[in-house]
Amino acid sequence: MAKDLEIALLRAFVTAVRAGSISRAASGLGQTQPALSQQLRRLEGVVGRPLLHRSPSGVTPTRAGEELLPYAERILSLSAQALTETGRALTGHCGVGLLEDLAASRLSQALADLARLHPGATLEVLSLSGAAMREAYDTGRVQLVLDAVPDIPGPPRWTVRRPLTWAIGQEMDVATDPLPVVLFSSTCSWRTAVLEAMERAGRSWRVAFESNSLIGVLAAVRAGLGVAALMPENLEPAMARHDTAALPALPEVELGLVRHPPTQGDPLVDAVESALRRMI
C-alpha cells in the first residue's frame, strides 16, 4: 500500500510556503531547520513530485506544490475542526415556538444548521396559534418562543424591531377601492396595527382572503386577490413592487423572545437562544 500523507508534513509544507523559508517555518513550528528540510523531503517522497523550488533566498512552490496547497490547507482545517469539535456536541431537547413568518425564514435554516452540528440534540420548531402556543409553553413542550411582543406567553428576555412591507401580486391594481387585503386568520397583534394604519390613512379596505398559513397568504397574493403586510424576507421577488406610495405606511413589529424559566443554565437552550439572537 502506498504511504499515507501525514498531517504534520502537510503543516510543515503549508508553513514553509507561507513563510517563504524552511528556516523560518522551522522556527515557527518549534523545530530545527534540518528537521523541516527532512520532513519536506519525506512529503515529496510520498507525493512523488518536487513541491518546492529551493534556493539560497528561500523556497517557492512548484506547480505541483501549488496544486497540493489547497488540499493541504483543507485537510489541516478539517483536522483542527475534528479535534476541537469531536466529543463536545450538545445533547438534549429544545422546543422553539416561532411565528410562522419567522419559521418560513432563514431562522429555521439556522436552527437546522445548529441541529446538524449537534446530532445528539433534538430541536423542534413549532408554529402555533396564540392559545396553543401558550399551552405548549406553559406545559414546557416549547422552551423558547419568538413572536410579536403582545403575543408571547411571558415577559421577553430581549426584543427587536422589524419592518413590514406590502406584498402585491402581479396584475394587482393598488388603487382599487376599497383595497382588498389578504390576512392571516390567526389573531396576530400586527393585523390590528395594520388595519388601524389603513384607517388613519383614510384608505377603505375589505378582507379579500384569510388563511392561517403563510403559504396560503402567499398563494392568495400571487393570484392577485389582494395585498398583504409581510416581513420583507418572506416576499417572493415578483411581489416586491415599487408602487406602494399609494398604500398606507406600515408600522414596525416588535418581536420578543420568552424563555421557560426552568431552562436557565441549559447549554442547548443557551445555544439555540444565541443562534436566534444572532440571526434575527
Partner DNA sequence: GGGGTGCCATAATGAATCCTTATGGCGAAG
Partner DNA sequence: CTTCGCCATAAGGATTCATTATGGCACCCC
Torsion of the alpha carbons at 170, 174, 180 and 183, rounded to the nearest 10: 70
Binds DNA by CB under 7 A, chosen from 15, 37, 186, 234: 37
* DSSP state, residue 210: E
Q: Which does 68 bind (CB under 5 to 8 A by kind): DNA, a copy of itself, none?
A: a copy of itself
Decide if residue 122 touches a copy of itself (CB under 8 A): no
Decide if residue 181 touches DNA (CB under 7 A): no
Decide if residue 263 touches DNA (CB under 7 A): no
Closer to DNA at the Cβ: 45 or 232?
45
Decide if residue 42 touches DNA (CB under 7 A): yes
Torsion of the alpha carbons at 107, 112, 113 and 116, rounded to the nearest 10: 160
Decide if residue 32 touches DNA (CB under 7 A): yes
Closer to a copy of itself at the Cβ: 47 or 279?
47
Decide if residue 86 touches DNA (CB under 7 A): no
CB 40, min distance to DNA, A: 7
Provide CB contacts within 8 A for 222, sequence distance 6+.
169, 170, 236, 238, 239
- Alpha helices by DSSP H, the chain: 7-19, 22-29, 33-47, 63-85, 100-103, 106-117, 130-138, 189-200, 214-222, 267-279
Euclidean distance between CA atoms 153 and 56, whole angstroms: 72
Euclidean distance between CA atoms 222 and 215, whole angstroms: 10
Question: 129: which 3 cell numbers?
Answer: 396559534
Which amino acid makes up residue 200? R
Which among 25-33, 156-164, 201-209, 229-237 is the span making contact with DNA, rule CB under 7 A?
25-33
Question: 257: which 3 cell numbers?
Answer: 423572545
Cis peptide before 232 (omega within 30 of 0): no
Decide if residue 11 touches a copy of itself (CB under 8 A): yes
CB 52, min distance to DNA, A: 7
Torsion of the alpha carbons at 123, 132, 107 and 259, rounded to the nearest 10: -70
Euclidean distance between CA atoms 119 and 115, whole angstroms: 6
CB 83, min distance to a copy of itself, A: 7
Closer to DNA at the Cβ: 39 or 165?
39
Q: Which does 66 bind (CB under 5 to 8 A by kind): a copy of itself, DNA, none?
A: a copy of itself
Which among 29-37, 113-121, 188-196, 212-220 is the span making contact with DNA, rule CB under 7 A?
29-37
CB 22, min distance to DNA, A: 3
Q: Which of residues 31-90 bind a copy of itself (CB under 8 A)?
A: 46-49, 63-64, 66-68, 71-72, 74-75, 78-79, 81-83, 85-87, 89
Provide CB contacts within 8 A for 72, sequence distance 6+.
10, 11, 13, 14
Return residues touching DNA (CB under 7 A). Answer: 8, 16, 21-24, 31-35, 37-42, 54-59
Return residues touching a copy of itself (CB under 8 A). Answer: 1-2, 4-8, 11, 29-30, 46-49, 63-64, 66-68, 71-72, 74-75, 78-79, 81-83, 85-87, 89, 119-120
